[in-house]
């Protein structure tokens, strides 16, 4: 088979690495890809939002399956464009990707189908939102409705901050059109867990759990980022929690989407909070997490392509999804100054030390080849170093040891990825 992956980050590198292990794959392509992905796939210089060019490429090259890694093209309808041209593609259609694309939609869906989540109200009128806040309990959470690179969520401690937040989101349009509508929701407390799943429209099979570290600094300080590191599994995601979620969250979400005439095929990423009243949904994403994919895929025992094919064909019930009884930790190596401003273009050394290793991996997030053919930094998040271990502590020690193998100017990382496991 010829397989095309759409995207260019660490998640897509992990997908390409995993796809390349499949005996079903003869040739792998990635659009646009990055310097690390180039080791497994032929990178094609087409942007993830250039749907017509992507589909034309897939037709010309005879691509048998396209896997969409990123949220923007999914929410924008890339799957519909491919399907209209008779191309096989793994991912939700536009009418299902709305599960991630509109927080107002997903909140209404959960309410209608009694899926546990924080109490909320949706607003399209900033005046009404401000009026509502005057009688609200604090802290309170404001969310821009649309995609905002994971940054459209404000936790406000008092009325003054919240009114300013409404202004930023709805009037100043800090997150662009994502702020045309907003959700105001109850503040929840508890541990966060990410659970990714494969879905074929009717059947859902969940993967092993993971946890992300969103803040830039040690001890969860600083600004929110795309994710500074992950570990898998989460020791807080117990068998009881899983049983509850399977019954009240996972299958009900898939059934709700089907009942709404929006059958979901692809990945549903459940962002959960384990609150004192039980697990509740924080958010849905319609794709693998980044950097969750970098710890979940290395633990997956199945052939990725076989599972994706089963999702497209609606035969996921015949797949026995299996994960190794080990653990993985990913430490993101970023450019100092991320997520605000940072320098790029520093040469990266030591990457060759990961070649052919099966206990640790380096997934490229923001890298490129410079004019002399050297691999240089090209983004805020530069690399994700993942290591496996028999348990979380061993995986964490291995990941921090492995990250020493790579060096570049401006290298910055958190020192406490996976520290929470000490409390488990």
One of 292, 326, 360, 406 touching ligand GLY (CB under 6 A): 292
Q: Which residues contact 187 (CB under 8 A, 6 or more apart)?
A: 118, 138, 139, 140, 141, 155
Cα angle 202, 204, 205 (rounded to 5 degrees) comes to 150
Judged by CB under 6 A, the residue of 77, 290, 334, 396 near ligand GLY is: 290
Sheet strands side by side (includes 120-123): 120-123, 182-186, 140-144, 153-156
Question: In 3D, which of 282, 301, 146, 90 has the Cα closest to residue 208?
Answer: 301
CA-wise closest residue to 227 among 198, 269, 189: 269
Binding residues for ligand GLY restricted to 182-241, rule: CB under 6 A: 212, 227
Residue from 32, 126, 271, 350 that binds ligand AMP (CB under 6 A)?
271
Name 323's bridge partners: 300
Specify the 3-state DSSP secondary structure of 117.
strand
Q: Are strands 65-68 and 89-90 parallel, antiparallel or unpaired?
A: parallel
Binding residue count for ligand GLY, defined by CB under 6 A: 7
- Of 181 and 292, nearer to ligand GLY (C-beta) is 292
Q: How far is the CB of 149 from ligand GLY (least distance, A)?
A: 9
Nearer to ligand AMP, 175 or 354 (CB): 175
Residue 187 interacts, among ligand AMP, ligand GLY, none and using kind-specific CB cut-offs from 5 to 8 Å, with ligand AMP
Looking at the Cβ atoms of 144 and 311, the one nearer to ligand AMP is: 144
Q: Does 138 bind ligand AMP (CB under 6 A)?
A: no
Cα–Cα dist 307/6, whole Å:
18
CB 381 within 8 A of CB 348: no
Rounded to the nearest whole angstrom, what is the least distance from the CB of residue 141 to ligand AMP in the complex? 4
42 vs 224, beta carbon nearer ligand AMP: 224
Subset of residues 169 to 188 that bind ligand AMP, contact rule: CB under 6 A: 185-188
Among residues 249, 270, 253, 271, the alpha carbon closest in space to that of 262 is found at: 253
User: Which listed residue (32, 150, 222, 278) binds ligand GLY by CB under 6 A?
Assistant: 150
**Which residue among 16, 48, 153, 204 contacts ligand AMP (CB under 6 A)?**
153
Q: What is the DSSP string of 15-28?
A: HHHHHHT-TT-SEE
| Residues 361-390 within binding reach of ligand AMP (CB under 6 A) | none
Give the binding site for ligand AMP (CB under 6 A): 118, 141, 143, 150, 153, 155, 185-188, 192, 214, 271, 282-283
Give the binding site for ligand GLY (CB under 6 A): 150, 212, 227, 285, 289-290, 292
């Amino acid at each position: 088979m010829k397989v095309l992956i759409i995207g260019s980050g660490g998640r897509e590198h992990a997908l390409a690495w995993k796809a390349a292990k499949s005996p079903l794959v003869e040739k792998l392509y990635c659009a646009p890809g990055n310097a690390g992905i180039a080791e497994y796939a032929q990178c094609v210089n087409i942007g993830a939002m250039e749907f017509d060019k992507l589909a034309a490429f897939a037709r010309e090259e005879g691509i048998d399956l396209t896997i969409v890694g990123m949220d923007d093209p999914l929410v924008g309808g890339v799957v519909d464009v491919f399907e209209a041209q008779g191309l096989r593609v793994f991912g939700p259609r536009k009418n299902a990707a709305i599960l991630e694309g509109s927080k107002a939609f997903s909140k209404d869906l959960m309410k209608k189908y009694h899926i546990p989540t924080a109490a909320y109200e949706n607003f399209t009128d900033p005046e009404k939102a401000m009026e509502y806040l005057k009688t609200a309990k604090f802290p309170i959470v404001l969310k821009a409705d649309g995609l905002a690179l994971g940054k459209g969520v404000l936790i406000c401690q008092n009325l003054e901050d919240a009114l300013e937040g409404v202004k930023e989101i709805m009037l100043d349009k800090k997150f662009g059109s994502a702020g045309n509508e907003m959700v105001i929701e109850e503040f929840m407390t508890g541990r966060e867990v990410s659970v990714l799943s494969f879905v074929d429209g009717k059947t859902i099979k969940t993967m092993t759990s993971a946890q992300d570290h969103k803040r830039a600094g040690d001890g969860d300080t600083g600004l929110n980022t795309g994710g500074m590191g992950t570990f898998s599994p989460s020791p807080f995601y117990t068998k009881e929690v899983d049983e509850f979620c399977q019954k009240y969250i996972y299958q009900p979400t898939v059934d709700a989407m089907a009942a709404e005439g929006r059958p979901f095929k692809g990945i549903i990423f459940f962002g959960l909070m384990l609150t004192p009243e039980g697990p509740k949904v924080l958010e849905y994403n319609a794709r693998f997490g980044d950097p969750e994919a970098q710890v979940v895929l290395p633990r997956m025992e199945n052939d990725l392509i076989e599972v994706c094919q089963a999702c497209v064909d609606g035969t996921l019930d015949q797949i026995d999804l299996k994960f190794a009884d080990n653990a993985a930790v990913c430490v993101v190596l970023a450019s100092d100054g991320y997520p605000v401003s940072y320098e790029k273009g520093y040469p990266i050394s030591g990457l060759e030390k990961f070649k052919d290793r099966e206990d640790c991996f380096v997934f490229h997030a923001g890298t490129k080849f410079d004019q002399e053919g050297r691999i240089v930094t090209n983004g805020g998040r530069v690399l994700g170093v993942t290591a496996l271990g028999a348990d979380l502590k061993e995986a964490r020690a291995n990941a921090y040891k492995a990250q020493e193998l790579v060096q570049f100017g401006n290298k910055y990382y958190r020192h406490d990825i996976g520290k929470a496991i000490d409390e488990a």
